[in-house]
Amino acid sequence: MPAAEYRPQLATLVKEPPRGDDWVHEIKFDGWRIGARIHKGRVTLTSRNGKDWTRSFPDIVTAVEKLKTSDALLDGEVAMVLPDGRTSFQAMQNSSSAASGASLVYFVFDLLSLDDEHLASLPLEERKSHLRALIGTRQTGRIRYSKHIDGRGDELFAHACRMGLEGIVSKRRDRPYREGRHGDWLKTKCSLRQEFVIGGVTDPEGARAGLGALLLGYYAGDRLVFAGKVGTGFSQKLAIDLRRQLDALEQKECPFDPTPPRPISRAAHWVKPKLVCEVEFTEWTNDGSTRHPSFQGLRADKSPKEVVREKPRA
């Protein structure tokens, strides 16, 4: 099974964790979803949309190569771990993070094949048993096993929010691994957070450099719907780098349908909707914009057409 066949199972957003003993619950990591394929001893890292990320994480490749198998397909999240134990997507965007004590880790939570044996059809509990046997339960080093708790999802979710984590993922313990989003995996978030497509940019004001704000949108069918703007969460270096990328994508036509209100559109530089970013915010306003948004980073692992408004299932 080549690495290109890594087709991840995805979690559906819900308002609160499911109850009952049919579910196990894991901490939601704040990083890049990555499949690690070992084939005849050679490691390939693949993102959720099929891009090859092997060269991006050489330390992770080296760690995976040391596992005692020549053939396997692992599923997990590559994340930057801060000194306090939290994972941070923003830290992955910051080249100085390693100097501040953060470290890059591959948290593995599933095993889809091992030594030519296909495991995806097995229940989650059996797959994780095989995974524990392969990588151990260590919580140090480049590769770490993603622990879970049985039931008590509400307790883990409350703990995650107290710790300032993103949230939790709940999984049916008795189900096979199936690609896509269908309800066997559920995610509960401590704050609102999702991906948006960048459709425009405004100029900086005063002493600020690079950009003023990014204009955000999501797809509803073939329409890119305006969802507000974000002007916080950037370092000066990142703002300048982002502006350079966006200037290369500038176009005359507004990509949003309908066009944003005149005060915003009058100051906008429109860009081709090619870049995806992640934004944290407090709530959706009545007019469909994000309130108090904060930029978290670019998402090169997401395709623009994948980006829709996430609505938690009851």
28 as an active site residue: the answer is: yes
In the numeric block, the tokens 């059996």 are attached to 126
Mark out the alpha helices in the chain (DSSP H runs): 58-65, 89-93, 124-135, 153-162, 236-247, 262-266
Buried b (16+ CB within 10 A) or exposed e, 146-168: bebeebbbeebbeebbeeebbbb
Strands 149-150, 143-145: pairing kind: unpaired
Q: How far apart are CA 247 and CA 292, in angstroms?
A: 26
Catalytic residue among 15, 28, 272, 302: 28
The Cα 279–Cα 193 span in angstroms is 6
Q: How far apart are CA 71 and CA 115, in angstroms?
A: 5
User: How far is 138 from 147, CA to CA, in rounded Å?
Assistant: 10
The pairing of beta strand 103-114 with beta strand 143-145: parallel
Residue by residue, DSSP assigns 223-284 as: EEEEEEEE--S--HHHHHHHHHHHHTTB-SS--BSSPPPHHHHHTEEEB-TT-EEEEEESEE
Residue for token digits 């622990």? 147
Kindly report the number of other CB atoms within 10 A of residue 170's CB atom: 29
Kindly list the catalytic residues. 28
